[in-house]
Chain A
Amino acid sequence: MSMVLFDVPGPKARVRHKIMAVVGVAALVAALAYVVMRFIATDQFSSRRLDWINYKQIQLSLVEAIGNTLSAFAVGAVLALLFGAVFAAARLSDHAWVRGPAAVVVEIFRAIPLVVMMFFFYYGLPVAGVKLSAFTAVVVSLMLYNGSVLAEIFRAGINSLPKGQSEAAYALGMRKTQVMTLVLLPQALRSMMPTIISQLVVLLKDTALGFLITFEELLRWGTRIGGDAVNFGRPMISVMIVVALIYIGLCLLLTWFANYLEKRNRRSKKVIHTDDDEAGQTQVAESSAVMGAGSVL
């Protein structure tokens, strides 16, 4: 689409674009150069401030911190998927007394900020005599918040299928559970996969909120080493760059996996398309692209 917004550039436009590109790059380089100059002027990359990399104990604690982040992610993701599946099923139920409460729960947990939830479990519950570890508080909050977002994703995925699918299945004499597990879910899961994975990327990023409740994960490790003024002279900048690269690497790995799934998904269509079908398909794809972008936060 973006290529249709303007005509194919002619000679004049090409020159104009080149000038704009040069000016833009110059401005960008100037801005970056200024930042790098400040790095050098304040001596952020002196050997003393990079020394932390050489300590074996610090390296080991880094590995441990990454391990903590990943284990919170893994446990949180599994629980959130389960929570999402259960509540999506409840919201799609035929019984109003199941649907109603499930909807309320999902809507409420989607509306409460994750930070407030973590504070509630870590600082609030001890007042009532229940003491949770920081890890448990993080995992439970991740489950409740991302689980309810996932429940909505699942529900939207099932609802986006053509009505004829379930009608045909019922006409064949299938039960409700059979319709869901044999007909609707296999189709819906395919189209939902990219959105689910991008929600998992959100979950991975949200583990960093454990920082606020003293959960020893990657970011907390970074601020501890980076704030060490005695041994390394506050190497906050260099440590944070390393931490950011690790987070970006982990998230891109997941995103890459999502894209891989999407591509494989697109390739293996074993049905014969009619023109009508094609239009419907692109419509669904487009709306899910927008939904994906919106839910990734």
Chain B
Amino acid sequence: MSVLTNNLDLFLRAFGQTLQLFAISGVLSLLLGTLLAALRVSPVPVFRAVGAAYVTVLRNTPLTLVFVFFLFGYPLLEIVKIEPYTAAVVALSLYTAAFVCEVVRSGINTVPVGQAEASRALGLTFVQMLGNVVLPQALRSVVPPMTSTMIALLKNTTVASGFAVFQAGTIRDSLSEQGENVLLGLLWVAIGFVILVMPLTYVQQTFEKRWSVAR
């Protein structure tokens, strides 16, 4: 317990940074991912191919490799200098966007074909159809898997520990510098993540139960 109480300031700052990383890259990946999903269902075949290529490449690349590329490789190209923190946000967002895209797309695919056909027959415009008919129904099947994507993002922020970006994963470095007990410190970090993730899991399960409507 003394490891936690003596370094409470360090723990709070580190988890604050983790949450900040999570929030920024979460919003960015949601935006980019939805855009990619729009590309993947668009009527223009080239756009569909681009979306599919992006998702295939990013989903099959380890996140650590994306990090290595943006933190070790990108500076060699001498385009615009970016801070390690920004690079971490970029890597996390680009990686997670591929998964968000797939969740949104398969959500749209769960809406029965008849729904879109019926709204077209009623003369709704494309925007009306998506906004009033398809997306509200898709949302139900999107929220649970989207929550697990976001939980994964929260946990993935710790990958930044290998790249000198201060967050909960780097608490170990600070503790070992001060000669504190690393074992207990890491246990507290683990408990911290359990505390952060459990409510999200609970929300996900609640939605899953409440919204699992038989179609």
User: Hey, which bits of chain A sit against chain B, CB under 8 A?
Assistant: 1-2, 4-7, 9, 13, 17, 20-21, 24-25, 28, 35, 38-39, 41-42, 44, 107-108, 110-117, 119-120, 123-125, 127-128, 201, 205-209, 211-212, 219, 222-223, 226-227, 234, 236-237, 240, 243-244, 247-248, 251-252, 255, 283, 286-287, 289-291, 293-297
Contact = CB atoms under 8 A, between A and B. Distances in A.
A123 B109 CA distance: 45
Interface string B136-166: 0000011011101101110111110110000
A237 B77 contact: yes
A244 B61 contact: yes
**Nearest 9 A-B pairs (CB), nearest first?**
A294-B145, A208-B62, A251-B60, A297-B152, A113-B155, A111-B197, A2-B41, A212-B162, A115-B158
A4 B77 contact: no
B62 A13 contact: no
B189 A116 contact: yes
A120 B187 contact: yes
A208 B159 CA distance: 10
A118 B189 CA distance: 12
A286 B198 contact: no
A259 to B, nearest CB: 12
A1 B193 contact: no
B201 interface: yes
A113 B169 contact: yes
B78 interface: yes
B79 A38 contact: yes
A201 B58 CA distance: 13
Contacts of B68: 211, 219, 222-223, 240
A240 B169 CA distance: 24
Contacts of B198: 107, 111
Contacts of B156: 113, 297
A297 B126 contact: no
B194 A108 contact: yes
21 contacts: A1-B41, A4-B117, A24-B46, A25-B46, A107-B198, A110-B197, A111-B193, A113-B169, A116-B190, A119-B172, A123-B172, A208-B62, A209-B64, A236-B73, A251-B59, A252-B60, A283-B214, A286-B110, A293-B145, A297-B148, A297-B149
B65 A208 contact: yes
Contact of A113 (B76, B96, B158, B187): B158
A247 B64 CA distance: 11
Nearest to A127: B183
* B interface SS class: helix
A209 B193 contact: no
Contacts of A107: 198, 201
A290 B44 contact: no
Given A7-B120, A219-B68, A289-B109, A205 B61 contact: yes
B50 interface: yes
Interface string B193-215: 11001100100000000000011
B183 A112 contact: no
Contact of B65 (A125, A247, A291): A247
Interface string B52-67: 0000110111111100
A119 B186 contact: yes
Given A28-B50, A39-B77, A247-B65, 13 more contacts: A2-B105, A4-B116, A35-B77, A38-B77, A42-B76, A110-B201, A117-B190, A119-B172, A120-B187, A206-B62, A240-B65, A247-B60, A296-B102
A208 B69 CA distance: 13
A283 B111 CA distance: 11
B44 A17 contact: yes
A295 B181 CA distance: 34
A9 B126 CA distance: 13
Contacts of A9: 43
A116 B105 CA distance: 32
B11 interface: no
Contacts of B77: 35, 38-39, 42, 44, 237
Contact of B182 (A21, A124, A290): A124
Contact of A21 (B44, B141, B142, B185): B44
B72 A223 contact: yes
B107 interface: yes
B113 interface: yes
A116 B186 contact: yes
B170 to A, nearest CB: 10
B129 to A, nearest CB: 7
B113 A119 contact: no
B94 to A, nearest CB: 13
B44 A24 contact: yes
